[in-house]
Amino acid sequence: MNKPNIAILGATGVVGGEILKILEERNFPYNEIKFLASARSAGKKIEFKGETHTIIEATPEAFEGINIVLASAGASTSKALVDEIVKKGAVLVDNSSAFRMEKDVPLVIAGVNDEDLKWHKGIVANPNCSTSQLMLPLKPLHEYGKIKRLIVSTYQAVSGAGKEAIDDLYDSTKASLNKEIYKYKKFTTKPIAFNLIPQIDVFCENGYTKEEMKVVHETKKILHLSDDTPISCTAVRVPVFVSHSEAVSVEFEKEITPEKAREILSTAYGVIVIDNPEKSEYPTPIEAAGKDPVYVGRIRKDLAFENGLALWVVADNLRIGAALNTVRIAEKLVEMDLLCHSERP
């Protein structure tokens, strides 16, 4: 099937808007397209490829005749609609956390573990945004040296929390500069303007947040690491609109010199190396915003581990961390002729 019928679930959201942009940029081939959202948004108009379309309410009937559903409407919506979507023969490519750790659902980053698409049963999960950008440079390094231990600190833009968070950073920054009182909307536990918040999502019993544990569990699933591989993550929300950054320390079973790492990463899928510290050349969030690659810099030997590397990884969280990977997965499903599936039990 070269031109599937597709539906965009959550078309009016931040990620949904990015999906539409990327579908147009990449000239994704389709026969029919539907734009779906909640009853609240039904009837509204949306622009795509120079034409005006009407938003349809995401009811079970709306998925009739659809082959691929690109979903970014949240976990509760995906869970509520998944049975009808799969029953009608469509493949759900889901951006939420609803199905990521289910054993019969592949968790896929296009270009990293495409082979896992072969065993899908109607659902393919898109990883957490922080995990997605981390895997593109780690996969080729892991293939060369085998990951033994991983420590990650993330510096995550507010767009990862949605449109309200973007508005909150803008409004609170403006209010602070104008010396006005601003009642922040509490998408975080503290004001975000001119601040760093070491909490994303709720805390688990082990003292880590759910966001941090997503990185731990998803990394193991995507790279097929053993359950006892030590991985630790600290996730921090920062006053940046777009692009997540990550400080990565990784220990390998065999040595990978910084020179060898640069060589490996310079030809890696979806990765661009910017690493010339003497000239202050390294990636930053502003440079990554609106672009598709994962940028890697500050490549050096990690002094804490015998076979360790330290990296700085930056990417647009709305694109590689969500929308771009969603579209790439859809492209792979078409390319690998994997739109047919058996229903989930």
* Residue 162 pLDDT: 87
pLDDT at 1 over 80: no
Task: Name the one residue in this structure whose structure tokens are 């009642």.
Answer: 183
pLDDT digit string, tens, across residues 55-67: 999 999 999 999 9
User: Which run of H or E residues covers position 70?
Assistant: strand 68-71
**What is the fold, at CATH topology level, of the domain defined by 131-317?**
Dihydrodipicolinate Reductase; domain 2 (3.30.360)
pLDDT digit string, tens, across residues 202-227: 999 999 999 999 999 999 999 999 99
- Considering the segment(s) 5-126+322-335 as one domain, its CATH architecture is 3-Layer(aba) Sandwich (3.40)
Residue 251's φ and ψ, nearest 5 degrees, are -105, 135
The DSSP-derived string for 249-286 is EEEESS---HHHHHHHHHTSTTEEE--BGGGTB---HH
Mean pLDDT of the 86-105 span: 96
pLDDT at 141 over 80: yes
pLDDT at 345 over 60: no
Q: Are 245 and 133 in contact (CB under 8 A)?
A: no
d(CA 143, CA 164): 40
pLDDT at 344 over 70: no
pLDDT digit string, tens, across residues 142-186: 999 999 999 999 999 999 998 889 999 999 999 999 999 887 666
pLDDT at 303 over 80: yes
Domain boundaries, the chain: 5-126+322-335, 131-317
Mean pLDDT of the 14-34 span: 95
**Could you tell me the pTM of the whole model?**
0.92
The catalytic position among 120, 142, 217, 244 is 244
Q: Under DSSP, is residue 109 helix (H, G, I), strand (E, B) or coil?
A: coil
pLDDT digit string, tens, across residues 38-53: 999 999 999 999 999 9
d(CA 26, CA 290): 14
Q: Is 244 a catalytic residue?
A: yes
The catalytic position among 53, 120, 129, 233 is 129
Q: Is 204 a catalytic residue?
A: no
Q: Which residues are bridge partners to 310 per DSSP?
A: 249, 300
Q: Which residues are bridge partners to 51 per DSSP?
A: 48
